[in-house]
Structure 1
């Protein structure tokens, strides 16, 4: 049996978790408590000593503890790496902003908003028959599920279902703030699909997506919906990205896209929207720093993501600045 120390430490004293070795601060009387943290895995592993044979439990404990410590070490390493990239790029962004302010004295510095955005993948390739077949299979299975529901309200409450409600709220917000809507469209246009690379051969098309189309047009049949989606499959799409992403944007009409796609804005754009709403002003300019990463691989960079373009947006006017 692994020897656990039963803590008799007074309230406020610290101890070390027997599993992951993190520091524990005792807030209560621990006369009957174990020195294990509140992490689910740690508690689960510790409590298994009550149900397992002691001879079997000891190697089991040591093996699981090793895995937990290894994962914890990786998570800590990844966080340090991400923090390093965040710090480097934030400092670099500020240097770029300061350099522009020193170059152009015509715009008050307080009117310049800084936004960093990702970059969509750009290499197009002929769409393979294998990808087309996989997409068609996904559509057929999704449509088959959708026709089982009497309406969209019967669908499973998942991210696709919730996205529709969020989309309605977002559309109302953007309609009441047209300058924020226009700014968002401009930023997404510069990015060119940095968020689309996870669309794979499904494009986030779900049963909720299909059922909502059927609710709007009761004359639609399963076959007509399938034919409509298949008719929009492009001959060429962006390599390693969503099957519907082309060099000119999404191949699907907006009404046929997933609510997950239609509602999505990256964190950088959402933060910019919030700042614009808080200032409640259409004045000011935006300095857009675009980096080489997509929306999903930012922290895969060895050191940092290089700047690929810098754009100054002043109303409807755009000025490209050499990085």
Structure 2
């Protein structure tokens, strides 16, 4: 699915620069000292994001609260920035129990549990209000139930990875016809490739580490990513405009090893869930603030922004086989739950 740099994309230096406004309002990232006595349950939480990313700031806060609320019985150590292995490695480790908890994007989790990728359906979610109603409602519950059948579990509501938007160096993307023949880089992800091909764009799967040069040499005219990726990878240097299409939303799941989870007494499991859920709300707010500040930062760097009407894009997509093809892959039950929040697709 998506290249690792697309998933993380925020290193310490660039994230601090891009997120300065948000970071000023956040508590400092810190690792608390080890209790004087040994914990009853010593677990690990691995993530792929830099320690300064909201995922890790809010996760560490949750771990601190869990340790306090359980009187030191549960001690979960945070290992950010793929310290314990790549996303693929860590997915295997959380399944085997090598790590007890792991934060992973839905788009990557879909390679193991396909249902997770339904949230990436093109133009399904018009805004965050719709996203959170779905993810905190029946669709999210169904996804979590299906993930649990794969042998791993989710231990909180979904966290935010952001909406993806289109940038361009040549034409202004305001309506579906503007995408016809538009040479756009996409990550090697089936959902995104099929979405842009359906809209008659020249979708070119290119690895992220080759993206900047591909844009610079006009191998492709544009690309699509969340604003944080566009900012931190300095893609604004070789692009002129960003169209806020929000064509795909992606989230993070905090996954747990089932055996390790079931070793925790019910009262301790309840505390872990409660504190991760509290940090879910905080992390979502962090990303919303960061997205707003990044828009202003990028405008100051000369990028033109276009607020586009998403409905014509979804209507154009509905005239193709895109939605029907993905409905067949996900099944009637899951698709009907998606449409409960998205409205009729196709």
| TM-score category of the 2 structures, normalised to the smaller one | under 0.3
If the length of structure 2 is used for normalisation, what is the TM-score? 0.20
If the length of structure 1 is used for normalisation, what is the TM-score? 0.21
Structure with the greater alpha carbon radius of gyration: 1
Bigger relative contact order, structure 1 or 2 (CA pairs below 8 A, ≥6 apart): 2
